[in-house]
Amino acid sequence: MENIIIEMKNVHKSFGKHQVHKGINIKVPQGGITVILGPSGTGKSVLLKEMMGLLMPEKGEVIVDGVDITKISKVELVNIRKKFGMLFQNAALFDSMTVYDNVAFPLREHTKLKEKQIREIVLEKLRLVGLKDVENKMPSELSGGMRKRVGLARAIVLEPKIILYDEPTTGLDPIMRDVVDDLIYNTQKQLNITSVVISHDIDSAFKIADYMAMIYDGVTVLNDTKENFKNSDNPYVRQFINGSKDGPIKMF
């Protein structure tokens, strides 16, 4: 594979007695969409949070842009995080602020731009995610799909190198799912960034992915290009693609 921007090496993580990760190895190549698949409850969101240092693994390395973020100070970690944008599962908008203030928040925090310039950027990003005339609404007045788009606008407003998506299509109707898939795809192409998507939605994954990975029972099953993934004869991957209850993956 080409330039690797995020690499997780032998990552272990547990919560109390529950071992979530028992040796995850994933490589995220630069400038493409990597979809990480896995059944529900296998610690996919935890994986995403480890990538930007919101959670720290007990063992293993997380290398972002050449820096092992498990070994750096809090201050350096904050700087690394500026390379990331993250879209949370439920968008995690600040519910005490308007849509406008939500999207403007990172700009006000990290740039010295004048309010006029901030306004231009915010409206442009909102347009990019297909929203207009919502600036003065509160997050609670928006539908789930709109909230996700505002969340995405907030995530890309500082033009990060990497965007992480935590189950972007979960809980959306089929049409909205397609819209969000398109959004992820177009955002990546327009901004030429690296995207990492966590999902258990195999259809969307095949639609948008350049690279794919699958985790099950705390380890990486397969991490390859989309074509190789599709044609893999790994029994775990086959079972997941076919959506069958029979196979090596046990849900009980």
Partner 1 sequence: MNRVLSLIGAPILNLALESGRIFLLLIDSILWIFRPPFRWKLLIKQMEFIGANSISVIILTGTFTGMVFAFQSYIGFHKFGAEYMVGTVVGLGMARELGPVLSAIMVAARAGSAITAEIGTMKVTEQIDALHSLAVDPVQYLVTPRILAGLLVMPLLNSIAVFCGVVGGYFVGVKILDINRTLYLQYMYQYVDLSDLYNGMIKSVVFGLILTLIGCYKGMAVSGGAEGVGRSTTESVVLSCILILVFDYILTAFMF
From the list 28, 29, 57, the residue with the least C-alpha distance to 43 is: 57
* CA distance linking residue 92 with residue 82, whole number of Å: 18
Closest separation between CB of residue 188 and partner 1, Å?
18
- Residue 78 CB, shortest distance to partner 1, in Å, is 5
Span near partner 1 by CB under 8 A; candidates 74-82, 115-123, 129-137, 242-250: 74-82
Print the binding letters for residues 99-128 with partner 1: x by CB under 8 A, - otherwise. Answer: ------xx--xx------------------
Is residue 165 at the binding interface for partner 1, with CB under 8 A as the rule? no
Q: What is the DSSP string of 90-116?
A: TTT--TTS-HHHHHHHHHHHH----HH
Query: Which residue, 96 or 231, has its beta carbon nearer to partner 1?
Result: 96
Q: How many CB atoms lie within 10 A of CB 29?
A: 18
Count of residues that interact with partner 1, criterion CB under 8 A: 23
- Phi then psi for residue 217, to 5 deg, are 55, 40
CB of 177 to partner 1, least distance (A): 21
Q: One symbol per residue from 185 to 224: x for binding partner 1 (CB under 8 A), - otherwise; what is it?
A: ----------------------------------------
Structure-token pair, residue 73: 């100070």
> Looking at 2-10, 73-81, 119-127, 183-191, which segment touches partner 1 (CB under 8 A)?
73-81
Angle, vertex CA 58, rays to CA 169 and CA 205, nearest 5: 20
Answer yes or no: are the C-beta atoms of 92 and 117 closer than 8 Å. no
Taking the C-alpha atoms of residue 210 and residue 205, their distance in angstroms, rounded to an integer, is 9
Closest approach of partner 1 to the CB of residue 151, in Å? 8
Residues that bind partner 1 (CB under 8 A): 49, 52, 54, 78-79, 81-82, 84-86, 88-90, 92-95, 105-106, 109-110, 154-155
